[in-house]
Amino acid sequence: MTSTSLDVERIRKDFPVLSRELPGGRRLVYLDSGNSSQKPAPVVETVREHLSMHYSNVGRAMHVLGAESTEAYESARDKVAAFIGAPSRDEVIFTKNASEALNLVAYSFGQHLWGPGGTGDAGADPRFALGPGDEVVISEMEHHSNIVPWQLLVQRTGATLKWFGVTDDGRLDLSDLPQLITERTKIVSIAHQSNVLGTVNPVADVLRRAREVGALVMLDASQSVPHHPVNVAELGVDFVACTGHKMLGPSGIGVLWGRAELLEAMPPFMGGGEMIEAVWMDHSTYAPIPHKFEAGTPPIVEAIGLGAAVDYLQGVGMAAVETHERELTAYALEALREVPTLRLIGPDSLERRGATLSFTLEGIHPHDVGQILDDQFGIAVRVGHHCARPLHLRFGIPATTRASFYLYNTTGEIDALVRGLHHVQKVFA
């Protein structure tokens, strides 16, 4: 199934929205997949089919529909596990999105559970104990979802937050790695691929240092899992977060992968139905993973839709997706160089970077760029700080315009972007 070339015209036919006409007769040019991707017909159809013919709650319903729903939900877990190379399906926890996956891990640290705590007595596991003197390391290029949960954690516990800087060319600054990650570091959490710069971070270098000092490593893979072949076991990290809506799936479903042994040692994040083994009035014991972390009725059809998205991506082949995006990125880097005063924020070569290009145009605010691209050309880009305000502060700019590509984008759409940018410059000349 996996080939390295991809028939983009055939793929586009699977995405009904891409042939849609916008008001005024404009054709849609969707360059905002880094924000959220479009959905192919098989995903829409799977969700529709499940909702219309098989829907019921999962786990607890003892009837045909309950069995079908549970089977579909749990097989989505199998698909995701295989897709990301998880050694065990039980290591795949469904969350609402990447943000919840990151929060789940952040809330596992520094808890003091008193009394009979069943399997979840985190206070007892030193890896999750956190207090004054302990450190958490993130980076300046993180999405707010990989910053704020850790800020809250250190505020709760008195631990210290530290971060990697970012170099002028948009790389993680590893020059102070040994001072940054030390014996005091409990966990390092960084993006696998930056949602602004497109930079793919050197996980192995960070991991090596973290292992030397016994720190855990989490990857925010929201921007990598949709676009590259990712194998969590090969990466060798401890936790990985990603989010369904950026990888052709529905919104409302995300994934936390964690090493089984760690997930078993972690206290539950939320309490409720389905996450328990037995409940007494004064205490409870918890279900084995993954259910320990899935309190309440989960996003059932969303998970099933994600399963269909993963099937679709595997049908195309992630190596082919990666190659296609690389070609688009090469083309776009070249094409954007022709636009006067355009300043790329992020690596200007293909080396260790993905298909996300953020830039500024001198004297023109990104909101104006985005508005004119949309109004006049039907080109959807993202403008603003893309939930990475500290990174924009680092580069001394309030906002950027961001074009991000996916398997259904074409070089023709990049040409349209460049024409649009020239027009924007004419309006504000």
Partner 1 sequence: MIGESMYQELILEHYKHPQGRGLREPYDAEVHHVNPTCGDEITLRVKLGDGGKVEDVSYEGQGCSISQAAASVLHELATGSSVEETLSVVDEFTRLMQGRGQVEADEDVLGDAVAFAGVAKFPARVKCALLSWMAYKDAVVRSAS
Ligand X SMILES: Cc1ncc(COP(=O)(O)O)c(C=O)c1O
Among ligand X, partner 1, none, the one that 220 touches (CB under a kind-dependent 5 to 8 A) is ligand X
Find the part of the chain contacting partner 1 (CB under 8 A) among 44-52, 168-176, 234-242, 381-389.
Answer: 381-389
Whether 242 sits among the annotated catalytic residues: the reply is no
Residue positions counted in the chain: 429
Find the part of the chain contacting ligand X (CB under 6 A) among 70-78, 142-150, 297-305, 337-345.
Answer: 142-150
Among partner 1, ligand X, none, the one that 157 touches (CB under a kind-dependent 5 to 8 A) is none
3-state secondary structure the chain: CCCCCCCHHHHHHCCHHHHCECHHHCECEECECCCCCCCCHHHHHHHHHHHHHHCCCCCCCCCHHHHHHHHHHHHHHHHHHHHHCCCCHHHEEEECCHHHHHHHHHCCCCCCCCCCCHHHCHHHCHHHCCCCCCEEEEECCCCHHHCHHHHHHHHHHCCEEEEECECCCCCECCCCHHHHCCCCEEEEEEECECCCCCEECCHHHHHHHHHHHCCEEEEECCCCCCCCCCCHHHHCCCEEEEEHHHCCCCCCCEEEEECHHHHHHCCCCCCCCCCEEEECCCCEEECCCCHHHCCCCCCHHHHHHHHHHHHHHHHHCHHHHHHHHHHHHHHHHHHHHCCCCEEEECCCCCCCECCEEEEEECCECHHHHHHHHHHHHCEECEEECCCCHHHHHHCCCCCEEEEECCCCCCHHHHHHHHHHHHHHHHHCC
Of 352 and 367, which has the nearer Cβ to partner 1?
A: 367
Of 96 and 259, which has the nearer Cβ to ligand X?
A: 96
Does position 37 bind ligand X by CB under 6 A? no
Q: Of 398, 411, 415, 418, which one interacts with partner 1 (CB under 8 A)?
A: 398
x/- binding map, residues 385-414, to ligand X, per CB under 6 A?
Answer: --x---------------------------
Beta bridge partners of 357: 403
What's the start-to-end Cα distance of the chain, in Å?
50
Find the part of the chain contacting partner 1 (CB under 8 A) among 139-147, 289-297, 324-332, 367-375.
Answer: 367-375
Q: How far apart are CA 235 and CA 312, in angstroms?
A: 23
Does position 98 bind ligand X by CB under 6 A? yes
Does position 385 bind partner 1 by CB under 8 A? yes
Does position 169 bind partner 1 by CB under 8 A? no
Does position 220 bind ligand X by CB under 6 A? yes
Please report how close the Cβ of residue 219 comes to ligand X at its closest, in angstroms.
Answer: 10
Please report how close the Cβ of residue 73 comes to ligand X at its closest, in angstroms.
Answer: 19
Among partner 1, ligand X, none, the one that 387 touches (CB under a kind-dependent 5 to 8 A) is ligand X
Find the part of the chain contacting ligand X (CB under 6 A) among 61-69, 96-104, 169-177, 361-369.
Answer: 96-104
Of 313 and 421, which has the nearer Cβ to ligand X?
A: 313
Of 189 and 358, which has the nearer Cβ to partner 1?
A: 358
292: nearest Cα among 307, 271, 320, 323 = 271
Q: Of 191, 200, 303, 416, which one interacts with ligand X (CB under 6 A)?
A: 191
Question: Which one of the listed residues 387, 399, 417, 424 is annotated catalytic?
Answer: 387
Size of the site for partner 1 (CB under 8 A): 20
Structure tokens at 406: 């996916």
Does position 428 bind partner 1 by CB under 8 A? yes
Structure tokens at 144: 């707010």
Among ligand X, partner 1, none, the one that 385 touches (CB under a kind-dependent 5 to 8 A) is partner 1
Please report how close the Cβ of residue 337 comes to partner 1 at its closest, in angstroms.
Answer: 25
Please report how close the Cβ of residue 401 comes to partner 1 at its closest, in angstroms.
Answer: 12
Please report how close the Cβ of residue 149 comes to ligand X at its closest, in angstroms.
Answer: 10
Q: Which residues are catalytic?
A: 387
Residues at the contact surface with partner 1, assessed by CB under 8 A: 23-24, 364-368, 371-372, 374-376, 384-385, 389, 392, 398-399, 427-428
